A and B are shown apart, each in its own frame.
Chain A
């Protein structure tokens, strides 16, 4: 018995002796992890660099050449709450994930929907709102259609923006149509108005707004959205610290009702139109 106690005590001491440097290394690694997180860098620098691209009305230049839009307000509020300055880094949407990974900016706040293939490359926060995909059709090229299935023929040209979830949704829901992709919604709209496309698939509320703005040329074949997508911010993989700060922030601001109120302003009214034209 005595001998067993001695052995156990010896083992305990041995393990403590072995564990001590391991524990020290662990806390050092943790300190390094915290130090290297995007959030720590942002606070040190005093500037939050936000990656985004122009999407009306998520992010766009206003009449004064300043950024405005729903996501811009989200980023500004976040920076304000973190007590840092905000800088926007406009980046072409098709290359925005590589730009995040190579550190051109700290966080991607650009209305990016969570998708399994994207989440293999970046870490997403919890979603702070959902958006959907909608369709607007040309009254000249494809009149009197009532449903999505009516567009699913090889003679229909469907336009959407490169690399967006809307483009993916269009391919999935109308697989037999001919798909064309452009780098901005403005180019898609132009194609539709010029009568070179039957329909434009994009993130709501833009398609519905286009139908209202061009009553003679465009119409909405059906109301509402045919997909629902959760929108979140994205950070570089493995940055747990930043992810936690952002998740906490989203939870708090969500509870305030701030997202719902801003969402109403940007997506359900057109009061913001005077800001850009």
Chain B
């Protein structure tokens, strides 16, 4: 690909200077007019703290980041599974799978995610998790299995909230991934299927060996974008007290009253997370484009 030569003109300099002045003015206004007692000094200890033996251990904000990433990864995994199944159903020749997948996508996409969180937390997960006695089962597991679950998912006391959050986010993101999968499959030229049929492949063989490999390559960049969305969307589960980044921030804010310091820090953390993820996604995209 040819890259156009970038020239730095006077206009660019003027715009940059304007932006710099604007940001500075905003900062001055925030520090003087706001009349706010800035106390950045007590913030670092909420990232890392010294334990009794003097070693550094992660504190609320850092464990919140880990928790957010863990939740986003599990969600993407589950949502991709749901999206793949539902996306295939949505492009099925038969009516029933098409209707089921269509109903799923439409009902989830037309609900605010916040409402979905409460619905799942109070009704769905409550019935399902209680019926399966998930928490009791985990508590009765041997120590090793319990700590593994604690590390990969959440400790037993927090498991029901975590699973409710995971279920909600997976349902929610899954609906969008369903549409990506559908679009990916439908974007493969009609001739490909005809050719596969002419070669004597069954419909399923054609889907598996001809359509899907091409569709997946087109879906992957969008899927990476959805992972970034998931990181951002996961903030809403703070309302059901899942200790992810936003929830931890709210807790620290409630106890210390550092409203602005905490929100600015949280903004930077989410931005950092999502920015690096999108850089990764872009690299994936260019690599796939080169390979294809």
Contacts and interface: CB of A to CB of B under 8 A. Distances in A.
A193 B36 contact: yes
Contact of B130 (A65, A88, A103, A276): A103
Contacts of B241: 89-92
Contacts of A184: 250, 253-254
Interface stretch (B5-13, B204-212, B255-263): B255-263
B257 A65 contact: no
Most chain B C-beta atoms within 10 Å of own C-beta, residue among A186, A187, A276:
A186
Interface in B246-288: 247, 250-257, 259
A277 B139 contact: no
A141 B192 CA distance: 72
B42 interface: yes
Nearest to A184: B254
Interface in A113-170: none
A98 B231 CA distance: 28
B122 A98 contact: yes
Nearest to A90: B241
Contacts of A88: 157
Nearest to A103: B130
B230 interface: no
B255 to A, nearest CB: 4
A61 B251 contact: yes
A102 B126 contact: yes
Contacts of A217: 35
Interface string B116-151: 001000100010001000001001000000000000
Contacts of B253: 184, 186
B251 A63 contact: no
A190 interface: yes
A189 interface: yes
Contacts of A102: 122, 126
A95 B117 CA distance: 13
Interface string B99-122: 000000000000000000010001
A277 B42 contact: yes
Given A54-B251, A65-B60, A276 B256 contact: yes
Contacts of B256: 186, 276-277
Contacts of B136: 45
A61 B249 CA distance: 11
Interface in A214-271: 217
Nearest to A88: B157
A260 B36 CA distance: 36
Interface string A101-119: 0111000000000000000
B34 interface: yes
B289 interface: no
B117 to A, nearest CB: 11
Given A89-B241, A186-B257, A104 B160 contact: yes
B45 interface: yes
B130 A186 contact: no
A64 to B, nearest CB: 6
Contacts of A45: 136, 139
Contacts of A194: 34-35
B276 to A, nearest CB: 25
B214 interface: no
A99 to B, nearest CB: 8
Nearest to A64: B49
Given A90-B241, A277-B42, A61 B255 contact: yes
Contact of A87 (B157, B243, B252): B157
A248 to B, nearest CB: 26
B239 interface: yes
A78 interface: no
A49 B157 contact: yes
Contacts of A47: 139, 156-157
B239 A54 contact: no
A60 interface: yes
A89 B250 CA distance: 15
B91 interface: no
Contacts of A71: none
Interface string B32-45: 00111000001001
B133 to A, nearest CB: 11
A90 B251 contact: yes
A56 interface: yes
Nearest to A210: B257
B157 A89 contact: yes
Interface string B186-221: 000000000000000000000000000000000000
Interface of B: 34-36, 42, 45-46, 49, 51, 59-60, 63, 118, 122, 126, 130, 136, 139, 156-158, 160-161, 239-241, 243, 247, 250-257, 259
6 contacts: A47-B157, A56-B255, A64-B51, A95-B118, A193-B35, A194-B35
- State the 6 A-B residue pairs at the shortest beta-carbon distance, nearest first: A60-B255, A87-B157, A54-B254, A65-B60, A184-B254, A90-B241
